[in-house]
A = this chain, B = another copy of it.
Amino acid sequence: MPESPGTLAGMRRQPAQARSRERVNRILDAAEALFASQGYAGTTTNAIAARAAVPIGSLYQFFPDKAAILLALALRYTETLRQELTAVGESAAALSLADYANQLIDNTDRFFSDHPSYRAVFMEAQGTVRELEAIEETVDAHLIRDLAASLPRQLPGLAPEDYDAIAFVLVKTIGTLLWLSLGQPQSFRQRLTAETKRLTLHYLNSYISTENAGAG
């Protein structure tokens, strides 16, 4: 049972009422658009409130400060991405390793394409918002956990810490490469996607053909 979209950490008040939940979503939608176009630092809380058609005072009833909006937005993204990746994990047993890797990457790529502001918003979370430096860990941690849980079906017989390390590497590597591909010219973008698949596949394969391929 995944948390409801309104049940976000760092919020001042849990929006129990339907109207409140809608307000929170409107605030996040407004913040998403503004962060993407103006950047985090270039977006004012009053602008967010105005675009969301919510009084500034109400905004501060839900979010203790500007950074909390970014955090909530990041978590909302993660929730969406997790759901889109769930399918891969569930059908994992039926897939070849290559198909598994390809689906993982295609789904992630589709998510990035469908949510063009993700890049701007999410990267802002790093560096700018010092007190929320944990955002990235918080966000990706969910994906890593999910992936680590589905890996044994693809790569049986490894130790738990192996799955953790592999999932970490995959989530970070795929995320970075696909995310970077967004800013590239179309042809290079496609090449990068292909390279990501190649990288992923051979990395995973190394855990099948060899139990310990000279990693030191």
Contact = CB atoms under 8 A, between A and B. Distances in A.
B169 A42 contact: no
A72 to B, nearest CB: 17
B213 A195 contact: no
A182 to B, nearest CB: 12
Interface of A is mostly: helix
Nearest to A206: B202
B172 A176 contact: yes
Interface string A12-44: 000000000000000000000000001111100
Interface residues of A, number: 47
A193 interface: yes
Interface of A: 38-42, 98, 102, 120, 123-128, 130, 137, 161, 165-166, 168-169, 172-173, 176-177, 180, 183, 188, 190-199, 201-203, 205-206, 213-216
